[in-house]
Chains A and B, each alone.
Chain A
Amino acid sequence: MSTVELSERETVNAQVATGRRRINLRGILTHVVLMGFLLVFMFPFYWMLSSAFKPLPDQYAVPIQWWPHNPTFQAFGEVLGLIPSKAIEGRGGVTITQTMLNSAIIAIIFTLGAVFLASLAGFAFAKLRFKGRNALFVFMLATMMIPNSVGLIPNYMIMARFGWINTWLPLIVPGLASAFNVFWMRQYMTTVPDEMIEAAQIDGCGPFGIYWRVVLPVVLPGLAALAIFTFMASWNAFLAPLIYLNDADKYTAPLALSLLNSVVQGQPTPISLVFAASVISILPILLLFLFAQRYFVAGLTAGSIK
């Protein structure tokens, strides 16, 4: 350690003395390390994508094919339902296209509902005075600590009682009651200056008008972050679909992927199909991420308050 310190100090001194640049060995080393990790982080993606383009025999080629020698769109065609596929027929015959449509419908309804309910309640907590406000808020915060697994079984019983098993409702309705979402919106809305609200009140704006026309436009970034966060959570959800859905044509994309990855009558699905479907299923989130990176990071790291 001490030698490192010494040499560092020496180089600084040398730099000061000569006033010239040195060959930046440390900088190069940093990039080598960062690049190494980059390759490690990217490798699973690369392998998924490149294997999706390999025909079946090439999957087992010895030595390993590090890139597809005979690239084909066969696997993509099969999972999208453009080419008939035995593997998919044997697993409910549902294409990734349909399950992604299912996922999209669920995620969009869920996101709209969650954002609306959370912002409405968050607005009341942030900007309206009413009896029991603090008690309700503290109660809500306290439940945030308790993991979802505690409510798993009672929720299943409720869904059975409501006759909601094998429908999409259990994937949409309970999640709307997220205490975190309300907390998140409230935190954003407390930053809206009271003067703005008072001015709107003088202009004759009612409580809903203030929420809709004054506060919401100001907290749009917070709303966007929450929307992205909830959309992604819904799109990627696995446990709830696994528990509640029985019919393959109602499956969401993650559940369909897990079905596709299963062994049926001793036959595993060709891995190119599984990887092709996996790649397709992460595309919507990837695109969303590339277009709205800022909100994404805000929403995800703030999700860590949970």
Chain B
Amino acid sequence: MTSTETKLPRTSRYTGYRLWEKAAPYVFVSPFFILFAIFGAFPIVYSLYISFHDWQGLRPGEFIGLQNYRLMLGDPQFHKAMLNTFVVGLGYVPIMILLALGFATILTRKIRFQGVYRLAYFLPVITSLVVVGIVFSFLFGSPYTPLAPLFAALGFQGASMLSNPALIKPAIVLMSLWRWTGYNMMIMLAGLQTIPEELYDAGKIDGTSGIQAFRHITVPLMSRVIAFSAILSTIGTFNLFDEVYMLVGRTGGVGEAGLVTGLLIYRTAFQSYRFGYAASIAYAVAVVIVALSLLQMLVSERTVSE
């Protein structure tokens, strides 16, 4: 490269260099943006277009205006999926945030086996969701589960959570707690690093108990991180797919009690091949997610400006 350049006359080499310097940013971003345009931006717009059409599989359909959306609003299955997703989210997010904050508060201090606990709580996070779904479908669904004595003690009929529609959502909640608590603990641990140690020292001098310090120092100062984790996890609920698919199958389990929005979109698109309708459901779910993201931005901005 340089050897050919040196053969050129000085002036043209200079203009060539100037030209490259001007063009370089565009050359650098274009490989990304070409792919982004095709596989990222275009599908977002095209999906909206499809949702206005009666598209069956890959066969283009007629323009039907808002009919897919009207259909959706009256579709009991859509209602069920939305409700299921909300219930699962409400079931695990608050418990998880409390657990994660508790673990982080304890494990941010130098205590014995700190590393072991952190590792143990974090390991589920790196486990593939398919494996998570497989293990829990055995633990919660198999007649040979080691949890059978526990289920019997709790009075579950049939010794299986997954054969009982009332227990499918709790099963998803427990699985999600297992999988995601460690992840949120890590976020909380990072957040706790920003609280100055002096505050706790001052509290100690005033005779503040551990629980008081948690309530009056940790929680208020962590409110931004807590909100972040909570909203992010709620968004995550609307993206649930792999582990639920493995746990209850593509149908959503007995009575479709485990039919979450992710499963519904997949089923509508790739089982029934109703592409137009599936696109409209995906858009409806996206509206919820974008609203949550905006809330998230609002929360972090407000607390930053404070």
A binds B: yes
What is the interface of chain A, defined by CB distance below 8 A to chain B?
Answer: 1, 4-5, 8-9, 12, 26-27, 30-31, 34, 37-38, 40-42, 44-45, 47-48, 59-60, 64, 66, 117-118, 120-121, 123-125, 128-130, 133, 136, 139-140, 143, 145-158, 160, 173-174, 176-179, 182, 206-208, 211, 232, 235-236, 238-239, 243, 253-255, 257-258, 261, 271, 274-275, 278, 281-282, 285-286, 289, 296-297, 300-301, 304
A-B contact pairs, 12 of them (CB 8 A): A4-B211, A38-B121, A41-B178, A145-B289, A145-B294, A147-B282, A147-B289, A158-B38, A207-B25, A255-B130, A271-B144, A285-B127
Q: A152-B269, A179-B40 are in contact. Are A238 and B129 (CB under 8 A)?
A: yes
Closest to A201 in B: B21
Contact A235 B128 (CB under 8 A): yes
Q: A8-B209, A153-B275, A257-B131 are in contact. Are A140 and B285 (CB under 8 A)?
A: no
Contact B44 A143 (CB under 8 A): yes
Contact B239 A281 (CB under 8 A): no
Contact A177 B44 (CB under 8 A): no
How far, in angstroms, from A9 to B289 measured CA to CA in the complex?
Answer: 46
Closest 5 CB pairs of A and B: A151-B43, A154-B43, A207-B24, A130-B25, A174-B39
The reply to whether the CB of B61 lies closer than 8 angstroms to some CB of chain A is no
Range class of the B interface residue count: 35 or more
Contact B46 A174 (CB under 8 A): no
Residue among B43, B47, B135, B245 with most chain A CB within 10 A? B43
The reply to whether the CB of B112 lies closer than 8 angstroms to some CB of chain A is yes
The reply to whether the CB of B227 lies closer than 8 angstroms to some CB of chain A is no
Contact B20 A145 (CB under 8 A): no
Q: A235-B128, A239-B266 are in contact. Are A301 and B35 (CB under 8 A)?
A: no
Q: Which residues, 13 to 39 on B, are CB-close (under 8 Å) to A?
A: 17, 20-22, 24-26, 28-29, 31-33, 35-36, 38-39
Contact B146 A173 (CB under 8 A): no
Dominant SS at the B interface? helix
Residue among A44, A118, A281 with most chain B CB within 10 A? A44
Residue among A118, A148, A177, A254 with most chain B CB within 10 A? A177
Contacts of A282 in B (CB 8 A): 126-128, 131
Closest to A274 in B: B134
Contact B146 A64 (CB under 8 A): yes
The reply to whether the CB of B182 lies closer than 8 angstroms to some CB of chain A is yes
Closest to A256 in B: B130
Contacts of A157 in B (CB 8 A): 46, 58, 275
Contacts of A128 in B (CB 8 A): 24-25, 28
Report B304 CB to chain A, min CB distance, Å.
14
Report A3 CB to chain B, min CB distance, Å.
11
Q: A254-B130, A296-B126 are in contact. Are A150 and B283 (CB under 8 A)?
A: yes
Q: Which residues, 154 to 183 on B, are CB-close (under 8 Å) to A?
A: 178, 182-183
The one of B111, B135, B187 that contacts A47, using a Cβ cutoff of 8 Å? B135
Q: A130-B25, A143-B40, A207-B24 are in contact. Are A120 and B31 (CB under 8 A)?
A: yes
Contacts of B269 in A (CB 8 A): 152-153, 156
| 19 more CB-based (< 8 A) A-B contacts, given A153-B278, A239-B242, A258-B246 | A12-B207, A31-B113, A37-B103, A41-B123, A42-B120, A47-B139, A120-B32, A121-B32, A130-B22, A130-B26, A148-B239, A152-B278, A152-B282, A153-B269, A155-B43, A238-B245, A254-B128, A275-B138, A286-B123
Contacts of A232 in B (CB 8 A): 126
Contacts of B25 in A (CB 8 A): 124, 128-130, 133, 207
Closest to B120 in A: A38
Contact B144 A60 (CB under 8 A): yes
Residue among A26, A41, A148, A176 with most chain B CB within 10 A? A41
How far, in angstroms, from A173 to B138 measured CA to CA in the complex?
Answer: 35
Report A100 CB to chain B, min CB distance, Å.
12
The reply to whether the CB of B81 lies closer than 8 angstroms to some CB of chain A is no
Contact A151 B209 (CB under 8 A): no
How far, in angstroms, from A111 to B25 measured CA to CA in the complex?
Answer: 23
Report A13 CB to chain B, min CB distance, Å.
8
Report A160 CB to chain B, min CB distance, Å.
6
Contact A153 B50 (CB under 8 A): yes
Contact B126 A136 (CB under 8 A): no
